[in-house]
Amino acid sequence: MKYLITIVGPTAIGKTALSIDLANHYNCEIVSCDSRQFFKEMTIGTAVPSPKELAAATHHFIQNKSIFDNYTVGDFEKEALSKIEELFLNNDYVVLVGGSGLYVDAILKGFDEFPAIDPYIRENVNSQYEKLGIEYLQQQLETLDPDYFKAITSENPQTLQNPQRMMRFVEVCIGSGKPYSSFLNQKKNNRNFTPIIIGLEAERSIIYDRINQRVDIMINEGLLAEAEKLYPNKELNALQTVGYRELFSYFDGEFTLPFAIEEIKKNTRRFSKRQLTWFKRKENTKWFDYLTNRTEIIKHIENQSE
């Protein structure tokens, strides 16, 4: 039997440290599924593991892409599953770690199959978006699939601002005559491993303190210079990310620097809340306080893999 030890939880909770400890304990390797740590141009603002941490265990999917690459969650699913299968040839355990819920789900259960859509419909939806803006897509989805619109609004609101994903939702609704959500969770994707899902959590005040401290550290380590270097490409999808967007607004003269830093902290706190909401829905997750002794977590893994 092969086991994918999957570590989830909000940002700044200590997932990286735990993943390294478990990889060393099981003499196995780490697959990262943090959707912003893929990009080699984004180091400080995405809290990429330090050189010391990267040297402590073998990591995959860390800074292996460029912000100029068109890299989708579907691409990641194919590449990561192939790598995991390769790693299982030499070990019964692999560690999967990251705070990007959609990417975790891609590995654990895959995506659903949708009907082919008439290119004319796709072209028309795109044309309407270009004329009327993102509000058109939001209104269409709310009308055509109100349940899914409500779920996104409460659990993953940044998706409402993503034109590519919103156009996809709308074109499926129009092209099929059915709600987009009716195609979800239909197909069972077989996996050749058993996931053991570990969640790290803490009191909200502790999470928020850790986030605030991390942002201060990022600023001290040179996040401002990193963001300034990326500023000419600020429209790229990869850069629509907390920690960079706020500094781009500072460069645009919309924010003062102190205000931009406070906005980074505030938006990261909001993001961590959404992460917890996403991961708390996941069945079969064993939650541990972030200070839990490693031996207790290992004991749980051993019990699950007997």
| pTM listed for this prediction | 0.79
Does 14 count as an annotated binding residue?
Answer: yes
Q: What is the pLDDT of residue 188?
A: 62
Q: What is the pLDDT of residue 151?
A: 86
Does 13 count as an annotated binding residue?
Answer: yes
Contact 201, 13 (CB under 8 A): yes
Does 285 count as an annotated binding residue?
Answer: no
Does 16 count as an annotated binding residue?
Answer: yes
Contacts of 98 (CB under 8 A, 6+ apart): 7, 8, 15, 32, 33, 34, 35, 37, 104
Element (H, E) at 37: none
Does 9 count as an annotated binding residue?
Answer: yes
Does 15 count as an annotated binding residue?
Answer: yes
Nearest to 198 by CA among 90, 127, 88, 97: 97
The DSSP bridge pattern shows strands 59-60 and 93-97 to be: unpaired
Tell me 65's DSSP state.
B
**Is residue 268 helix, strand or coil?**
helix
Domain residue limits, the chain: 3-111+189-304, 122-183
306 residues of the chain, pLDDT tens digit each: 999 999 999 999 999 999 999 999 999 999 999 989 999 999 999 999 999 999 999 999 999 999 999 887 878 999 999 999 999 999 999 999 988 888 898 899 887 677 777 777 888 898 899 999 999 999 999 999 999 998 888 877 888 999 989 999 999 999 888 899 888 876 667 899 999 999 999 999 999 999 999 999 999 999 999 999 999 999 887 898 899 999 999 999 999 999 999 999 999 999 999 899 889 988 899 999 999 999 999 999 999 987
CATH superfamily of 3-111+189-304: P-loop containing nucleotide triphosphate hydrolases (3.40.50.300)
Contact 278, 155 (CB under 8 A): yes
User: What is the dihedral angle through the alpha carbons of 38, 277, 243, 263, rounded to the nearest 10 degrees?
Assistant: 180
> One-letter amino acid identity for 28?
C
- Residue 277 has, within 13 A of its CA and on its CB side, a CA count of 13
pLDDT tens, residue by residue, 108-118: 988 767 777 77
